[in-house]
Structures are given as C-alpha cells and as structure tokens.
Chains A and B, each alone.
Chain A
Amino acid sequence: MKHYTLARKLYKYYLKKIVFFAHTIDNLFMETITQTLTNEHSHCDQLFAQAEEKVVKKQWELATTGFTNFRAAMEQHFTKEEQVLFPSFEERTGQTAGPTAVMRMEHQQMRQVFDEMQKALTEQDSEEYLGFSETLLVLMQQHNVKEQQMLYPMTDQVLSQEVASILNQMDQVGKNV
C-alpha cells in the first residue's frame, strides 16, 4: 500500500513536470499575454528614463516631448488592460472586486502623479518633477511586479484558449488611443 502511494506520488510529480515542460515549450512558440505586456512595461521604463534625463539637464522642450511620449505609451498600455484584458479576466473568473479592481485603482493613482509631473513640467520646476518621477517610478515598478508575476500569468492560464484573440483586440484598442 505504502509503495503504491509513493509510486502514485512520483507519477503525479513527474506528470506535473512534464506538463510544465510542455507548457514552457508551448510558450516558446506562442505569444503570451505575460510576454507581450511585460515588453510594454520595459518600453515604458525606457521612455520614463529618457524624459527624466532631459529634465535633469533642464532641456525643457525635449523633456516635454519625452514626457508626452511616455505618458501616451502608459495610457495606451492602461487602456489595453482596462478595456480588453481586465474585462475578459473578470468575465471568466466572475471576480470584479478582485485583483483587477486593485490594478485599476493603481492606474488611477499613477494618472494623478502624471498630472503632478505635467504641472511641474509646465512650471519648469525640475525639483518638483524629479520628486514626483521618483514617486511614480516606485509606484509603477511595484505595480508591474504584481502584474508580471501574478496577474499576467493568471490571465494566460485562465484565458488560455483566447490568448491570440485577446492580444489581437488589445492591438486594435491600442491603435485607437
């Protein structure tokens, strides 16, 4: 009996490993939500750093262009999530007050900081801008970690059949922002 349980445990363990491996291989050939949106995060990070650098150098025109680009990229990303990804996830899991609600709230928080940064930029107040960009960076990064390590992998799993169509829809929505 004991041996039987052990064998079953081993069998289950290796089966899990094989399934995991198969998924990994699968993911290599398939575009996932996690990959696509994680890439967007790094793209936004780059734009953020470029804008900040111009503010440090007090090149206000370039800084304004840089910030506008950054904010546009962020808005595009938020819209994709808020209009396509989150609703699909909520529909599938039946959870509207769960993780997606918190992510939406954090988007709102970031938008408020964007406003502060925009104001500092208009007033050409670099100290104020850098204080808020520092704040935004930490807020944004901890938000990204939660999405990349928890929410995106969950959506990939929960919505596994529809990943391709969701990515497509997000593309469409992104173009219209």
Chain B
Amino acid sequence: MNIALLSLEQTPPLSVPLRFFLTAPLFGLLASLLLLYDGPHLLMNRWYPSTLALTHLITLGFITMVMFGAMLQLLPVLAGSPVPRPIFVSSTLHILLTLGTLSLASGFITGWAWMMVSALILLGLSFFGFIGIVAYCLVNVKGRSPTMTGMRFALGALVINAMLGIILGMLFVGVVLPLPMVLTNLHLTWGLIGWIGLLIISIAYQVVPMFQITPQYPSYLTPWLVPLVFFILFLWTPLDILVHLNQLPATVSQLLIGFIGLGLSIFALVTLNLQAHRLRSIPDVTLNYWRVGMIGLLFSIILWGVGVFWSDLAMKPFYPVLLGVIFIVGFVLPVIQGMLYKIVPFLVWLHLQNQQLEITKVISMVKIPNMKQVIPDKFARRQFWVYIMALGLTISAVLWPAGLSDVAGIVLACSFLFLGYNLYKGLWLYRSVSWQIAAAKGKKSDF
C-alpha cells in the first residue's frame, strides 16, 4: 500500500462544492418557471420540446450539478484521493455545465441548431472532463469499499449516458422530433437508473448509517447490488434495441427491467428498515427527505409494473410523464435535498473551524456557529413541507394539466426558492464569521 498517496487532510476549498450546490436551486427555479409558463402542454406529452427542456433543467441543472459538487467533495474525504488543482477544475466544470445546460434547454425550446451544437460541445467537455478527473482519482483509491466500487459503476453509466445524449443531440440538430424512440429510452434509462440511481445507492451505503447511527447495510447486499444492476442494464441495452426492431418479444426487455426494479426495491426497503432501527431518536429533516425518496422510488417501480400488465394505461401519453415525475421529483430530488441539509452546514462549520485553528490566542477566539445555527431546523422543516406540497401538486398536475399545472409551477418554484434561501443564508453566515476571524487574526499582532 502506498502511504504517500494517502492524505487524510484533503478537504477541498469551500468554493469547490458550494458553487455547484448554490447553482442547483436556481436551475430548479428556472424549471418551475418553465412549468408555469408552458404548463398544460408540457405535462401531456414527453416529446414536447418544453418537456425535454424542463427534464434537462432538472436532471442536469439540479441533479447532476449537485452530484458533481458532491463527488468533488467526497472523493478526497472518503477515499483519500485529492482532486488535482481543485479550484481550477471545479470552476471550469461548473461553468461548462451551467452554460451547457442553459443552451441545451434553449436549444430544445427554440429548435435553433447552433444552440444545440454549442450545448453539445459545452456539455460534452464538462462531462468528459468530470469523468476524466474522477476516474483519475478513483484509480488512486486504495480502499475497496462498496461505495467506491459503486461510484466506479455509476461513472461508467455516466460515460454511456453522455455518449447516448450526444448522439441524440446530433440527431436532434439534423432530424425533426420525435427522436428515435429506442435511443431516447436507452438514454433516459442509463441516466436515471445508471448514473443517478447507482450513485445514490453507493453514497447511501456510506451516509445513511452515518447520519442516523443505523446498523450498516447488510454485507450480503452491498458488494453486488450496484454491479448487478449495471450488468443487467448492459445486457438489456442490445436486447431492447432488438425488441424495437421486432426481433424479440417485448417481454425480454421488460423482464430485465423488472429485475432492476426488484434490485432497487430491495435497496429502498432495506434503507427504510435501517432507518427504522436507528439509534438516534431526534426528528431530522434529512431523514424525512430520505424516507419520502425511498417511498417515491417504490411508487415509481410499482407504477412501472402496473404499466407492464395494463397496456392501456402504458399507452396513455401522460403515463411516461407520470413515471418520470415520480422517479425524479419523488425519489431523486428529496434524497438530494436531504443530503444538502447535512453537507452544506457541516462544510460551513468545518471551514470556519479550520480558520479558527490558526488563531493561537484564546482571547481572540470567535464563536463558530454550529450546524443548526448555519441552517436552522425550523427553516429546513418548513421548506420540506413546501416541497411536499409541490410534489403532490406536480403529480396531480400530470393527471389534470389544465387545472393544476400553474399552481404546481408556483409551489415548485417556492420550494426551490426556499431551498436556495436556506443555502444562501448559510453562505452569508459563513462570510460574516469568516470576516470576524480574519479581523481577530489581524488583532493578534497587536497583542
């Protein structure tokens, strides 16, 4: 084992993850405004350009945005594998992802080819830059925890997903909608289940027991779940293409996705069970968010299963939209928001504490706010309830677009605004305390 490679210090500068975390709610807000502006059409058909724009504002602008920041933060800390030149890397990736997502959304709405081309270039650069950096770090990791293994597979899924996305984007520039159905299905499955789903599972192995002091995930589950889902996806990909070419019965593809659904349900149920056996008894917003997320995941799997056996329902245009909404808004968003409420206050505290360590005189010590002073529980809890309303309304709006899409858009916008407010308030507090510490250090020389 090479000890030189192991540096346990490694927390990257605060701006590295925070720039991603603080941009994400803005994209959520933008997506909600689009829903408000183009509501009824948007929720009725998955091929409608605004629907594609909205989906990518959420999946790239919110979800992937946070995941980029989280990976750049977690890799050094959990794996002892520092990201080289962290500020340069994170700011470049952040700008590319932000501009790329904005041009992609505008490209979908306007249909302008040059907009789409620039989106493809920007997003391509940001994804492959990110993949390259993370792959480099993961190679240096010596530990073989299920989390690290899982991250490797999630990253593999991101490679496949990004390539499919780029191919689809190029087709979009040349061809009119609807895009080749089979490729979009592959793209969204690799994106939602492969990249996002597998990454959430891998990170859950580490953070669910940590934050609630629950028992560990069972060791008969963790080593194989993520690799298995990945390999089933891999096997499913060519078979699904054959199904679409009418070379194979649809049952083959459905059966494989069914196995993945089973794997994900096991994950959700085990997580809920672990949380039920937690040692900590205090109420916690992150816990609420994770529970909602796990239930959302189970619901989306059940809905998919119902669609398999009830083909009339599956043929309805709203069905795929509903499935997507429950998976994204009901599973991924809550899990991510729950994580943000732990990571952001902790990082603010940690960085302030580290600055404080440089002050040697006790007399000039500044009081460092604890995590619950950085983001008060009361505010986080209220934001949670606004989000729950937004979730309920968005799901209802898919079923009754004409009447509810406006309200859903407004409440969703409120939930992202509130989230943003909580996070930015944490940043302001950081700034002011950090300034006090700097002032205290200045004073030190006077003594």
Contacts and interface: CB of A to CB of B under 8 A. Distances in A.
Contact of A45 (B9, B77, B279): B279
B91 interface: no
B145 A109 contact: no
A135 B282 contact: no
A56 B281 contact: yes
Contact of A99 (B6, B143, B349): B6
A139 B350 contact: yes
A134 B370 contact: yes
Interface string B281-310: 110000000000000000000000000000
Contacts of A145: 78, 206, 210
Contacts of B142: 150
A18 interface: no
B8 A131 contact: no
A127 B346 CA distance: 17
B176 interface: no
B371 A135 contact: yes
B353 interface: yes
B346 A135 contact: yes
A99 to B, nearest CB: 4
A53 B371 CA distance: 18
Nearest to A127: B372
Contact of B9 (A48, A102, A116, A153): A102
Contacts of A105: 357
B7 A135 contact: no
A161 B282 CA distance: 44
A172 interface: no
Instruction: Pick the most buried of A127, A150, A154: most chain B CB atoms within 10 A of its CB.
Output: A150
Contacts of B281: 49, 52-53, 56
A169 interface: no
B357 to A, nearest CB: 8
B280 interface: yes
Contacts of A103: 8
A137 B6 CA distance: 24
B206 A146 contact: no
B134 to A, nearest CB: 18
Given A130-B282, A145-B206, A150 B211 contact: no
B71 interface: no
A65 interface: no
B77 A150 contact: no
A138 B371 contact: yes
A151 B211 contact: no
A108 B206 CA distance: 24
Interface of B: 1, 3, 6-9, 77-78, 80, 142-143, 145, 206, 210-211, 213, 279-282, 342, 345-346, 349-350, 353, 357, 370-373
22 contacts: A53-B282, A56-B282, A95-B3, A99-B8, A109-B357, A130-B372, A134-B370, A135-B349, A135-B371, A135-B372, A137-B210, A137-B211, A137-B213, A139-B346, A142-B210, A145-B210, A146-B77, A149-B145, A150-B80, A153-B143, A154-B1, A154-B6
Interface of A: 45-46, 48-49, 52-53, 56, 93, 95, 98-99, 102-103, 105, 108-109, 112, 116, 127-128, 130-132, 134-135, 137-139, 141-142, 145-146, 149-151, 153-154, 157-158
Given A45-B279, A130-B372, A137-B211, 10 more contacts: A52-B280, A53-B280, A99-B7, A108-B357, A132-B370, A134-B370, A137-B210, A138-B210, A138-B211, A141-B211
